[in-house]
Chain A
Amino acid sequence: MGTFVQLVVDGLSTGSIYAAIALAIVLVNQATGLINFAQGGMAVLAVYVAWVLTNEGVPLILAILASIVFSIVFGAVVERFLMRRFERGDPDTAVVVTIGLLTLITGVAGWLWSYNNQQFPSLFPLDTVQFLGVSVSIRSIGNTVVIIVVMGLLQALFVGTKLGLALRAVAINPESAAFSGLPVGRLLMVGWGLAAALGAVAGALVAPQLTLTPGMLDNALVYALAAVILGGLTSPVGVVVAAWIIGILENLAAVYVPFIGFDLKVAVPFILLFVVLVVRPQGLFGRKSVVRV
């Protein structure tokens, strides 16, 4: 029993890693209608910025804040000078552009800072607390809390603010958004900037555990994508919940379903995804999308 609960808690903490990146993907998707494969790469770049600053003696929290500011600018610049050209075209091309961007950023990071694993300090100590026979690290708790806060902010942004509505309007139909007087270009830049900032937070949270390398988030990206689709593209809450479900189910299946085991546990999120999508094509928490005729 103790092991079971511990596995659930472990799954939650791993799920939080997926959730962090998944939130950034959702934000960009909501703001631009795109899936950004470079989201993780941009986050890694931000963490490197923070890492360089901490090496220069800047306090960690300031370094992270600076990396967030950097990311907002970087995200906006990427949108304006790279993605803008592809936003109205074929979505496949735009997705491939983000793949190219990921490759480029990875290469730049490897060139500047090598492919070695760098230690990135954590905001939260690694001490553990025990309750009900389960150990949890302060770091996991801290990460989870931050992610919940971010999730809440995002949900509020999309549902309760003019900016959020405008962002979504632009994503859903840029033309009519433009006709109704929305500054489409600027909104897209804001969307990318915000998503990059969110990525920077996510990166700073997970870097202490994954260690900082140019490809740090590559493996988590697939899980994050699964969480995004499973949760429903429109719902930050849904995505975080989906990421947790994935983290937990994966652990439990590996340990308690002998056929799956630790080698095939990666199939779990996809089996789950498939089952859910057949029943609910819009995902667990997503809104039904409008069919364009």
Chain B
Amino acid sequence: MNKQFRSRTARGIAVASALALTLTACGRGDEGGGGGSRGGSASPGITDDSVTLGITTPLSGATAGPGTCTVAGVKAYFGAKNAEGGVEFGDGKTRTVEIEALDDAYDPQQAKANYDQLKDDVFAMTAGLGTPTNRAWREAAIADEVPQVLVMTGDPLFSDPEESPWQLGFVPIYQNEGEAMGELLASSTGEHKVAILSQNDDFGEGYVEGFKSAIEGSDNIEIVNELTYEATDTSVDAQITELASSGADVFFNAMSVTPLMISALQKAQQVNWTPSWFLPSNTSSPGAILEPGGAAAYPGIYSVAFSKTPAAPAFADNEDVQTYLAALKEHGDYPDPPAFPHCQWSWMVGATLEQAFAEMTEPTRENFMEALRSIEGFEAPLMLPDTSVSTGEDGQPAVSTVVVQKYNGKGYDTVETFE
């Protein structure tokens, strides 16, 4: 019996050795090249006629819907630009922009692996969705001096230039969105009882934190109950039932899961609870969520936004929207009208990057970061009036202003007061 074992192990060792030897033959080609070249010479991923951007984002699994959008928008934007010949850089050269996107399935470990794979080939990483998946390689990106910019997470860490010198978030931090809603409510003169439901993670916590900070000191507003749910739950009926019994007339629902939001809207009606709702920007799509949820039954559905919703009738003839939808179909590999705002946001990421490229005088990552951090009041395509991209503000992501909007049955109108 021992012989048998020995022989098998010996074979295993032989196989492994052979494998290792083959690998050894590859050798380390770029001795000392990895760490990022300093001085005037070009950074990896950029040549005189092209620049490559990397994205790691969920393209399969539960968050693949919005994840696919984060690639589609920026791909569509630069696809259209490339078709026109490329993007003009501040150093006078015109470059085409290539996108290399990899699927991380919302697994931080995979995101880090994707980053490791991309870091030497791409000029910058951008647009990826998710807090843990971006955090997983944040420190590595800092150590390697690889830009990790305009990423789709509202985690404030990415917008703190002290902590994250090579990072910049794109979407407003969650606290900002919650705060904007809280301010609107605080400006109301009536007495309000608020019920809160939030996703049990930094997304939900951030929203609630911002909301609470805005209503702090408003005597007319009282929080009567506060519950959480898990993103993996199949139902939030019990939460809605319990919150309904609190008799609140305002419902702050920091939820990022589409089907749960729809069923929450339905369930509240079923138990005869019709408060005014506050919804986050990423789960307030009129066509994909509010209509199937029967939102018309509520006195008011408020949300925050900084981008136009292509599906809304108000923007149907908008030139921006037309260009965007056409490019999304042709270059973004995204034929349907997008159900997630992440497609629009990603498109804006493209525009913001182009803005930074135009300011770049040297083809280096350092110079790119400087250029990116110097954008002031840029009105990216698809942006709503009163919002803009400003990257110079400490502690704030590229987009830090949002407007509060109210659902009008088909789309949204910007509002100043809570009615």
A binding-site residues for B, Cβ under 8 Å: 2-3, 6-7, 10-11, 13-14, 17, 106-107, 110, 114-117, 119, 126, 128, 135-137, 209-211, 213-215, 218-220, 223, 250-251, 254-255, 261-263, 266
Interface size, chain B (Cβ < 8 Å): 37
User: 8 Å CB contacts to A: which residues of B43-79?
Assistant: 60-62, 64-65, 67-68
Contact B272 A135 (CB under 8 A): yes
Contacts of A114 in B (CB 8 A): 65, 68, 336
Contact A14 B288 (CB under 8 A): no
Contact A218 B336 (CB under 8 A): no
Total inter-chain residue pairs, C-beta < 8 Å: 96
Which of B238, B258, B339 is in CB contact (< 8 Å) with A11? Answer: B238
Is the CB of B367 closer than 8 A to any CB of chain A?
no
Is the CB of B232 closer than 8 A to any CB of chain A?
yes
Sample of 14 further A-B pairs with CB below 8 A, known A119-B292, A215-B62: A3-B242, A14-B237, A14-B238, A114-B65, A115-B64, A116-B288, A116-B339, A117-B288, A135-B271, A209-B259, A215-B61, A251-B237, A255-B238, A262-B238
Chain B proximity of A291: nearest CB distance (Å): 29
Q: Is the interface of A mostly helix, strand, loop or mixed?
A: helix
Contacts of A213 in B (CB 8 A): 62, 65, 259
Contacts of B229 in A (CB 8 A): 262
Is the CB of B164 closer than 8 A to any CB of chain A?
no
Contacts of A7 in B (CB 8 A): 238, 241-242
B binding-site residues for A, Cβ under 8 Å: 60-62, 64-65, 67-68, 200, 227-230, 232-235, 237-239, 241-242, 245, 258-259, 262-263, 266, 269-272, 288, 292, 294, 336, 339-340
- Given the known interface contacts A2-B245, A262-B239, the answer about A107 and B234 at a Cβ–Cβ threshold of 8 Å is no
Contact B245 A3 (CB under 8 A): yes
Contacts of B271 in A (CB 8 A): 6, 135
> What residue in chain A is nearest B335 (Cβ atoms)?
A114
Contact B68 A117 (CB under 8 A): no
Contact B60 A110 (CB under 8 A): yes
Contact A262 B292 (CB under 8 A): no
Chain B proximity of A271: nearest CB distance (Å): 17
> What residue in chain B is nearest A119 (Cβ atoms)?
B292
Complex CA distance for A210 and B235, rounded to whole angstroms: 8
Chain B proximity of A54: nearest CB distance (Å): 15
6 examples of A-B residue contacts, CB within 8 angstroms: A7-B238, A116-B288, A135-B271, A215-B61, A215-B62, A262-B227
Contacts of B239 in A (CB 8 A): 262
Complex CA distance for A251 and B68, rounded to whole angstroms: 34
Contacts of A263 in B (CB 8 A): 200, 228, 230
Complex CA distance for A115 and B230, rounded to whole angstroms: 20
Contact B234 A116 (CB under 8 A): no
Chain A proximity of B231: nearest CB distance (Å): 9
> What residue in chain B is nearest A256 (Cβ atoms)?
B242
Contacts of B237 in A (CB 8 A): 10, 13-14, 251
Complex CA distance for A215 and B106, rounded to whole angstroms: 14
Complex CA distance for A110 and B61, rounded to whole angstroms: 9
Complex CA distance for A248 and B321, rounded to whole angstroms: 47
> What residue in chain A is nearest B232 (Cβ atoms)?
A219
Chain A proximity of B290: nearest CB distance (Å): 12
- Given the known interface contacts A3-B241, A114-B336, the answer about A210 and B227 at a Cβ–Cβ threshold of 8 Å is no
Which of B228, B241, B269, B336 is in CB contact (< 8 Å) with A116? Answer: B336
Which of B65, B241, B272 is in CB contact (< 8 Å) with A10? Answer: B241
